[in-house]
Structure 1
Amino acid sequence: MISKKNILFKIGILLFLALAFFSCASRKDIVYYQNIDGTASKEKTNSYEVTIQPDDLLMIIVSTEDPEIAIPFNLKTVSVVSPGKQDLVRGAESNQLYLVDSAGFIDFPVIGKLKIGGMTRTEVLQMLQDRITVYIKNPVINLRIMNFKVSVQGEVVFPGTYPVNSERITLIEALAMAKDLTIYGVRKNILIIREVNGIKSYNRVDITKADFINSPYYYLTQNDVIYVEPNKNRINGAAIGTNAGIIISVTSLLITLITLIVK
């Protein structure tokens, strides 16, 4: 006759094996760039250049050999008094900012309103160069987006909104800033929410395949949102955690019933 201890031991083993089976993650679900040795490594990656969007804050500085000549083409520096302080805080760079309005325009000194929304950085620089050269010789123009940022949500170590110092960032770099995906993150279905000209698009990327490097979403644009959804283990674990009391009660009841049966 099989003893009660043997039955309980076998039940415990079966439960452990079941949990181990359902919690296992295969290599194909976890490893990045799985076909990196294939054709993807031989393809030329897509080129990318940021485009100007509404609500961008642009720093545009015009300079020439004679600084006095360039003054009319730059925003005036404004003195700011910090709250609770008597001293003046001067910040020439912070006061050289142009806000792109909802229609894609900025109001540029001397020249007037310019439609730059939807243009690339290179296109804007060329347009400014053409317009300003009418007034001054050989102007040097610097342009930079000052509020470039991306947001990373979901199953990453540190979700949040991250400012970008350059104007060129990849999906992998954004995930690295968030300290990468957790083991529960779905790598085959990363969502990128992007807004262009007021229209939002929802795009899926599989980073386990190296050919995503050639997709339009390898390079991110300002204000992109990256969402990493949880896998089934995380969802099931959350359900178990929510119903832990019920599960414990049911398990205790089952053990009690088994004990009574095998007595």
Structure 2
Amino acid sequence: MNMKKILLPIFLLLLLMLQSCTTKKEMLYLQDLDSYANSTLVYTSTKIQPNDILKIDVGDLNPVVAAPFNMNVGTTNGQTSVEMMKLSGYLVTPQGNIMMPILNEVKVGGLTPTNAEQKIKERLIGEGYLVNPTVQVRVLNNKFTILGEVNSPGVIPFSEESISLLDAIGLAKDLTYSAVRTDIKLIREVDGKRLVFHIDLTTASWMNNPNFRIRQNDVIVVEPNKLKANSGGLIKDPIQVLGITASLLAVVLLIAQ
């Protein structure tokens, strides 16, 4: 048996597979991070959306007069759980409204929590209910969805108003080896429109864009590289490719002896 004829196709197969392997440049995060050191950070407040669940606390120097404007929340073992607060919170309707005690319908959709606080406060004062109230509005059901090449995909809750993309990836236990880091897709619905952003994690340039902070109901999609996509997920990473190729080559050499 001609050894060259046997080894040539194996060698070509190895080259083809290696072309699909991920390079170091495609793997490393934030490769130009030093260029963006000491950059000024810009934050934007998120807006209240339909299906948000709000916790609204109304206070006053006299707690008795403020009590009718607060919803009673049950406790578990003497403590109020987030799930209990969600069940008793204010659900924002598709029209962006909530129903509060005494004030009845209040439109908060499209407002930031701070703007909603001010609006409720103005109504309490303007309609003669309270003289100097305090109002606190907080979204209880903040969550994002992350799919694709991460180690722990799914729907992940968070308590902050927004988190960084790196925080979101960390909550999903990082990207897999097969993830395409140069084109992370961020899907967001704003004012009835669906926006799609493309983010390259190998550069730090996106970190200064406030649009790329993860907000309520965002969806992150991480695509697999060509090698994994073409193999239908059977091949996980380049090391596995080399292992399979080496095994095939060893079998061929044994047969050829």
Q: TM-score, normalised by structure 1?
A: 0.78
Q: 5+ residue gaps in structure 2?
A: 236-247
3-state secondary structure, aligned to 1:70: helix
Q: Which residue is equivalent to 1:100?
A: 92
1:43 to 2:39 alignment:
yes
Instruction: Give, in whole Å, the separation in 1 of the partners of 2:234 and 2:74.
Output: 58
1:199 to 2:196 alignment:
no
Identity %: 35
3-state secondary structure, aligned to 1:37: helix
Q: 1:234 aligns with which of 225, 228, 236?
A: 228
Instruction: Give, in whole Å, the separation in 1 of the partners of 2:214 and 2:31.
Output: 22
The one-letter code matched in structure 2 to 1:104 is: G
3-state secondary structure, aligned to 1:220: coil
Q: Which residue is equivalent to 1:31?
A: 28
The 10-residue stretch of structure 1 (161-170 or 21-30) with the greater mean CA deviation from structure 2: 21-30
Q: How far 1:77 sits from its partner (Å)?
A: 5.1
Which structure is larger by alpha-carbon Rg, 1 or 2?
1
User: For each residue in 1:213-263, what CA deviation from the matched residue of structure 2 results, as whole angstroms up to 9, or x when unmatched?
Assistant: 12243211211110001111111232777xxxxxxxxx9xxx8xx97xxxx
Instruction: Give, in whole Å, the separation in 2 of the partners of 1:43 and 1:166.
Output: 23
Instruction: Give, in whole Å, the separation in 1 of the partners of 2:170 and 2:223.
Output: 17
Instruction: Give, in whole Å, the separation in 2 of the partners of 1:216 and 1:16.
Output: 45
The one-letter code matched in structure 2 to 1:46 is: V
Q: 2:173 aligns with which of 169, 174, 179?
A: 179
1:69 to 2:61 alignment:
no
The one-letter code matched in structure 1 to 2:90 is: Y
Q: Which residue is equivalent to 1:148?
A: 142
Q: Which residue is equivalent to 1:128?
A: 120
Q: How far 1:160 sits from its partner (Å)?
A: 0.4
Cα 1:21–1:95 shift into 2, 3 Å? closer
User: For each residue in 1:114-143, what CA deviation from the matched residue of structure 2 results, as whole angstroms up to 9, or x when unmatched?
Assistant: 211111111111122222234223323222
Q: 5+ residue gaps in structure 1?
A: 80-89, 242-250
The one-letter code matched in structure 1 to 2:232 is: A
The one-letter code matched in structure 2 to 1:36 is: L
Q: CA RMSD in A?
A: 3.4
How many residue pairs get aligned? The number is: 238
Q: Which residue is equivalent to 1:116?
A: 108
User: For each residue in 1:88-131, what CA deviation from the matched residue of structure 2 results, as whole angstroms up to 9, or x when unmatched?
Assistant: xx987456411111111112222232211111111111122222
Q: How far 1:196 sits from its partner (Å)?
A: 1.3
3-state secondary structure, aligned to 1:72: helix
Q: How far 1:73 sits from its partner (Å)?
A: 1.0
